[in-house]
Amino acid sequence: MRMLINVPETVVADALRGIAAAHPDLTVDVENRLVVRRDAPVAGKVGLVSGGGSGHEPLHAGFVGPGMLSAACPGEVFTSPVPDQMVRAAAAVDSGAGVLFVVKNYTGDVLNFDMAAELAEDEGVRVARVLVDDDVAVADSTFTAGRRGTGATLFVEKIAGALADEGAPLEQVEAVARRVNESSRSFGVALGAVTTPAKGSPTFDLPPGELELGIGIHGEPGRERRPMMTSGEIADVAVHAVLDDLRPTGPVLALVNGMGATPLLELYGFNAEVRRVLSERGVPVARTLVGNYVTSLDMAGCSVTLCQADEEMLRLWDAPVRTPALRWGR
């Protein structure tokens, strides 16, 4: 096993210590597995809390900061965080304006965030929940009832986070988060299998010269396996799958996301093919983000996420953000 780690048992704790050392504007609680804006709670501001299994970095801890999340709860690798983490996070960021939980549609995440919401409300924190379920590849999967939550999580956290920073009430922040999710669709492709630190070997068998279409971010099976395709051929499959489900009637936000082991040279080339397909389908692109944002450890591959964006979404997307992974504006 060739990994830049000490031992598998301390991978998450070691990473959290590294985040703390690199980003003094965050409060990192290694023992309780929390990453929080150092200025939280912000008076009058809705708190945004998300989380999930580690291994998808920068999701979610890399999106904590002004203009995005108030706190993130990292679980063990590919394992949901526990309700106690979420309750602590809610308490740490609640200013009295309430807290929005952003939850990817994976069974463990859903159950634990639901339980945490009940516990937090018992302690006097008003909580709303938004479920992200943007993946069009499969109706159900190994870890999910219904569509999986993938790349649209970034769109939800950025846009809802910007509105929360403007001081909007919880009901409005929840509503825009739901609207972003409902306007977003994703499709992922694996060119190579993922290796977890605990297992030390690929989690599924993908023979040389083949790829898996429609994978999730944990290496779950997709909709089909095919011989290796060109970048343009992959873009044809992925973008058409998204568009046939989303059917946008206006401009879109586009995320061309790497799964962790695909270099930017390839991702930018793939983005050119994505833009070609969108142009052929008459879909204008308002904004594009290319890079490794919602990853799966060392998986080679990519995903495409499109969000039909109205004027408010675009304004909130362009609003300033200052997190470890996303930074623009003032």
Could you give the residue numbers annotated as active site? 56, 218
Question: Strand ranges (DSSP E) for 228-300?
Answer: 252-258, 285-291
Strand partners, 175: none
- The contacts of residue 268 (CB under 8 Å, 6+ apart) are 290
> Measuring CA to CA, which residue among 50, 99, 105, 108 is closest to residue 79?
108
> Measuring CA to CA, which residue among 67, 104, 89, 6 is closest to residue 324?
67
- Return the exposure string of 106-129: e unless at least 16 CB atoms fall within 10 Å of the residue's CB, then b: bebbbebbbebbebbeeeebbbbb
Give the CA angle between residues 23, 65, 97 to the nearest 5°: 140
What token pair was written down for 188? 């992922």
